[in-house]
Structure 1
């Protein structure tokens, strides 16, 4: 019979290695139980790890679009608030003009002019509103104030009107000679001189720094929407034109028939402003609805992809808990055995 010797040190070292491996595996199992996924995806999935990476990348892409949609929603909501203010002021200006229909009373004219001036101030402030440091109605020119203040000192638009009136009639609108203006002359001036100043390139020279091109935002994998508006829209131009007619011509020395013509044109353009601004509101409202629907779709897509990821990367929490309990018991037993082994010594028996 052959006898071999095993030292207590060798046994103790073997037990220590067992404890270390058990502790390491317990930490791994704890992480898997908490996260619900494999500790090492590459080791656990092997060749399927590439599919896991692709699915996680898809979730990140969808979440990025959803996060950017939050900014789009904020921009659209702020734009709607400003447009609502513009529409109210356009309606108020229209009401002021309508109140003058059939009247040549100087007091009522002064009150209407004051209402128009206030409406234009509020309109200008609303057009120049911003959100997150970007002007809402500049189109893609979000870093430049879209609309010039007509009533500010040194206004280019005011200077252009004064020059146009003087060039057409030969005297300023404040002159007493305005009483000599005929209905035909005023009609021709309004139609062929003043209106083109708000429809052509001069609008961009005197009034607007906005771009005709709006910001386009991607709200889903294959869907784009306009996420702002611009100060060059027809409703904006009509508002400015109606306001200038009211401010510059209503309280001049023109005759009653000419004033009636001026007021009817102001009513026409103010009505166009209300309609045009409401059309912009409708367009942005459609964009808001599409963003909301896109967000619902994105949430569903993310949930579906995350389910696939869970099936691929997920662990059985019950099984992991059972394994961890078993390992804890083994480690505890190893601790006890190691403690007993350290007490084995010949000196204890001598």
Structure 2
């Protein structure tokens, strides 16, 4: 009969390996108790893992849409703030036009002229508002400054000066101070209106695109989330401002000046209506984004519930396994300590 011997070192190594595996399992169970879901979803779910992956992919997509909505909302909010400034400029010019009607007081006319200059600059600055380094009224040309400044040397000023010079030449080199009401009306109708309300606007006065930014605000909903300076409201205001600035000077006859003033008032009212409509359209977009975000929040809650149903652990079962494993590890520690005490010296 042959006797085989097993060293206590071999037993200790076997116990050490078992202890390491138990500690790893303990860490996994502790994680599951804390998070409420499987530590290793793939191992736990097997073939049903694809359902969890699909749900999490949809969850990420909805979160990305909501992040995009946040940027769109901020851009629309910046646009609304700019439109408020633009409406204020319209109101300021309107007040000055009313007070200047029929007056021959050079002081009043000079004051009105100063107001026209300042408010036209304020309007242009507001129309060139930027958010996140993008111009909010440039349409899809968001990297291009949309509205041209009306100042000496600018394309807009040069276009006006050319139109005036051409009209004067066509009418016997008539000077501006000698314009009759009929000539003033002719100049405004046939020289200025095509410049602002026709094809002359694009490229000279505005660099914006007619096409606005489109944003997907929901899984199946795409809306416009910007505006542009090619709208009728902006065109009408700029025409009214230029008429007020250039054609209501003290040296003109009262009749010619009043003709220009009436034209400016008409275009200003149309401009105000158009700018209010721009604000209303932006407000509609803001409302649709808000509704979409509420819908996305509800979908996210529903998907999270489904994910928890698939990946969630039974807390009672996990707690029982955790307690049993702790007991097992404590026993392993005790056995290991006793095995380490075995030696031939102690036997002898």
For the superposition of Structure 1 and Structure 2, which TM-score range results when normalised by the shorter chain?
over 0.9
1:210 is paired with a residue of what secondary structure?
coil
State which drifts further: 12-21 or 135-144: 12-21
State which drifts further: 158-167 or 86-95: 158-167
Could you report, residue by residue, the CA deviation over 1:240-280 in whole angstroms, capped at 9, with x for unpaired residues?
Answer: 10111011110153221221111111111111111111110
The residue number in structure 2 matching 1:221 is: 219
Relative to structure 1, is the Cα distance of residues 161 and 177 closer, same or farther in structure 2, using a 3 angstrom cutoff? Answer: same
Q: Which runs of 5+ in 2 are unaligned?
A: none
Is contact 1:171-1:177 (8 Å) kept? no
Q: 2: CA distance between counterparts of 1:179 and 1:78?
A: 43
The residue number in structure 2 matching 1:76 is: 76
Q: 2: CA distance between counterparts of 1:63 and 1:149?
A: 41
Is contact 2:128-2:147 (8 Å) kept? yes
Is contact 1:76-1:228 (8 Å) kept? yes
Could you report, residue by residue, the CA deviation over 1:78-119 in whole angstroms, capped at 9, with x for unpaired residues?
Answer: 111011100110111111111112323221111111111100
Q: Paired residues, what number?
A: 347
Matches within 5 A, 1:223-262: 223-262=221-260
The residue number in structure 2 matching 1:317 is: 315
The residue number in structure 1 matching 2:164 is: 165
The two structures, once aligned, show a CA RMSD in angstroms of 2.0
Does residue 49 of the first structure (1) align with residue 55 of the second (2)?
no
Matches within 5 A, 1:109-148: 109-148=109-148
Q: 1: CA distance between counterparts of 2:341 and 2:257?
A: 116
The residue number in structure 1 matching 2:208 is: 210
The answer to which structure, 1 or 2, has the higher relative contact order (CA under 8 A, 6+ apart) is: 1
Aligned equivalent of 1:296, options 272, 294, 297: 294
Q: 1: CA distance between counterparts of 2:269 and 2:147?
A: 21
Is contact 1:91-1:270 (8 Å) kept? no
Aligned equivalent of 2:274, options 273, 276, 280: 276
Kindly state the Cα deviation for residue 200 of structure 1 after the two structures are TM-superposed: 1.8
Is contact 2:28-2:39 (8 Å) kept? yes
Q: 2: CA distance between counterparts of 1:117 and 1:171?
A: 29
Q: 1: CA distance between counterparts of 2:59 and 2:141?
A: 32
The residue number in structure 2 matching 1:100 is: 100
Is contact 2:168-2:175 (8 Å) kept? no
Is contact 2:94-2:265 (8 Å) kept? yes
1:14 is paired with a residue of what secondary structure?
helix
The residue number in structure 1 matching 2:185 is: 187
Q: 2: CA distance between counterparts of 1:329 and 1:86?
A: 75
State which drifts further: 78-87 or 26-35: 26-35
Is contact 1:176-1:253 (8 Å) kept? no
The residue number in structure 1 matching 2:37 is: 37
Kindly state the Cα deviation for residue 337 of structure 1 after the two structures are TM-superposed: 1.2
Q: 2: CA distance between counterparts of 1:82 and 1:268?
A: 23
Is contact 1:52-1:312 (8 Å) kept? yes
